[in-house]
């Protein structure tokens, strides 16, 4: 049986009572004194269910209160809610609390997950497209300036590199600026806005200008497709989303989430590399340089990759070079062949000489 207590708001004395919910009023009969108190339902200040306790508040401060404990409390709540405007919507919550909570948690997690994987990075990427081209070029130039300060720039080789781009009559939306860095590193990279850095180590491994043009066309694709800016936008958007979602979480969970984010970003970088390979081939065809150079370039990278240990290879931003070579070989355009250009050949020889 339910346990009903009445408090008069004047003292803390608990009076056991019986209540009867009528059309517009609640009748309270005090067990001990048999006194009957009438409350108008529309004048109730609040009715709140917590666990299996229903608390009803009535009148001016200090309020009279009724506490109904036990299984019947929900029935009383429902009965009273019928006569008031507010409170009906809360019924679903009280009746089906557990399933509602489970559904809420489930849909919230699902929504967050979907946003994290698709919507948020997409939004971040789109937001970067709003960056004006001039700003992008300036941004790249200032990063490049900083980078040059810490590295040994090969001025002569850089001059020849830019001449090579000029002789191809490259017409792209960004001013392409190439800088050669003296280093044994077998790599190259592109910054937003047209700044491309090539390490002398990779030039050293090249046998003909086709490979060098392949490398440049790969990097120029990164520039024209705004790959670095898009990556930046995506990772910034996900970071903001994560910190907004988890707010003030501890360093360890933040670390775990950060690692997950990096792995996700890695997958995206690999997509971009594949895109740059394929569009690089188109670029070479457009400027009439044999695309076979792209496959040869991959072989250089592959030979270099063999030197790395297994785990580093897994975490590399570039897809497995063997997969890249297979992907290139399945592109029909790679089989096209163009006549050797003496001008390019001469410049390539100068570049090779200048890095010695």
Residues found near other proteins in the complex (CB under 8 A): 7-14, 46, 48, 50-51, 53, 55, 57, 61-65, 67, 97-98, 100-101, 104-105, 108, 244, 246-250, 252-253, 256-257
65/128 with CB nearer other proteins: 65
The nearer residue to other proteins, 51 or 310, going by C-beta atoms, is 51
Quick one: which of 186, 184, 195, 85 has its CA closest to 137? Answer: 195
Closer of 95 and 322 to other proteins (Cβ): 95
Q: Whole-number minimum distance, CB 314 to other proteins, in Å?
A: 25
Torsion of CA 277, 283, 288, 294, to 10 degrees: -10
DSSP code of residue 340? P
Nearest distance in Å: CB 62, other proteins = 5
- For other proteins, the closer of residues 104 and 114 by Cβ is 104
Min dist. Cβ of residue 78 to other proteins (A): 19
Question: In the complex, what is the shortest distance from the CB of residue 71 to other proteins, in angstroms, rounded to a whole number?
Answer: 16
Closest C-alpha among 110, 130, 106, 108 to residue 118: 110
In the complex, minimum distance from the CB of residue 7 to other proteins, in angstroms, rounded to a whole number? 3
Looking only at the bridges linking them, the beta strands covering 177-181 and 3-7 are: unpaired
Q: How far is CA 223 from the centre of its chain?
A: 21
Distance in angstroms (rounded) separating the CA atoms of residues 210 and 70: 84
Query: 10 Å Cβ neighbour count for 21?
Result: 17
Q: How far is the CB of 20 from other proteins (least distance, A)?
A: 21
* Cβ closest to other proteins, residue 249 vs residue 303: 249
Is the Cβ of residue 36 or residue 101 nearer to other proteins in the bound state?
A: 101
Which letter, b or e, does each residue of 136-173 get, where b requires 16 or more Cβ atoms within 10 Å of its Cβ?
Answer: bbebbbeebeebeeeeeebeebbebbbbbbeebeeeee
Name the residue nearer to other proteins (CB basis): 46 or 349: 46
Crossing angle for the helix pair 321-329 and 251-286, to the nearest 10 degrees: 30
DSSP assignment of 141-179:
HHHHHHHHHHS-EEHHHHHHHHHHHHHTT---SS--EEE
**Min CB(60)–other proteins separation in Å:** 9
């Amino acid at each position: 049986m339910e346990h009903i207590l009445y408090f008069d708001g004047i003292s803390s004395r608990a009076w056991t009572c019986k209540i009867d919910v009528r059309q517009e009023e609640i009748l309270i009969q005090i067990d001990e004194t048999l006194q009957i108190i009438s409350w108008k339902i529309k004048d109730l200040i609040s009715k709140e269910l917590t666990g299996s306790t229903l608390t009803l508040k009535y009148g001016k401060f200090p309020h009279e209160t009724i506490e109904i404990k036990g299984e019947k409390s929900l029935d009383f709540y429902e009965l009273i809610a019928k006569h008031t405007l507010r409170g009906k919507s809360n019924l679903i919550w009280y009746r089906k609390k557990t399933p509602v909570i489970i559904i809420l948690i489930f849909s919230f997690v699902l929504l967050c997950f979907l946003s994290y994987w698709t919507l948020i990075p997409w939004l971040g990427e789109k937001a970067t497209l709003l960056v004006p081209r001039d700003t992008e070029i300036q941004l790249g130039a200032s990063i490049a300036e900083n980078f040059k300060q810490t590295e040994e720039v090969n001025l002569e080789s850089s001059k020849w590199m830019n001449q090579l781009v000029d002789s191809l009559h490259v017409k792209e939306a960004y001013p392409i600026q190439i800088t050669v860095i003296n280093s044994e590193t077998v790599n190259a990279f592109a910054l937003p806005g047209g700044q491309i850095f090539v390490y002398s180590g990779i030039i050293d491994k090249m046998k003909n200008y086709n490979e060098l043009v392949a490398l440049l066309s790969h990097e120029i694709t990164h520039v024209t497709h705004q790959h670095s800016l898009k990556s930046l936008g995506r990772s910034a958007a996900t970071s903001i989303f994560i910190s907004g979602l988890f707010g003030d979480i501890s360093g360890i969970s933040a670390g775990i989430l950060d690692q997950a984010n990096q792995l996700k970003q890695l997958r995206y970088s690999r997509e971009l590399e594949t895109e740059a390979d394929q569009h690089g081939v188109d670029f070479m065809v457009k400027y009439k340089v044999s695309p076979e150079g792209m496959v040869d370039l991959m072989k250089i990278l592959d030979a270099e990759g063999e030197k790395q240990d297994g785990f580093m290879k897994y975490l590399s931003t570039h897809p497995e070079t063997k997969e890249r070579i297979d992907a290139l070989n399945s592109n029909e355009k790679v089989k096209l062949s163009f006549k050797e250009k003496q001008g390019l050949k001469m410049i390539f020889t100068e570049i090779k000489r200048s890095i010695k």
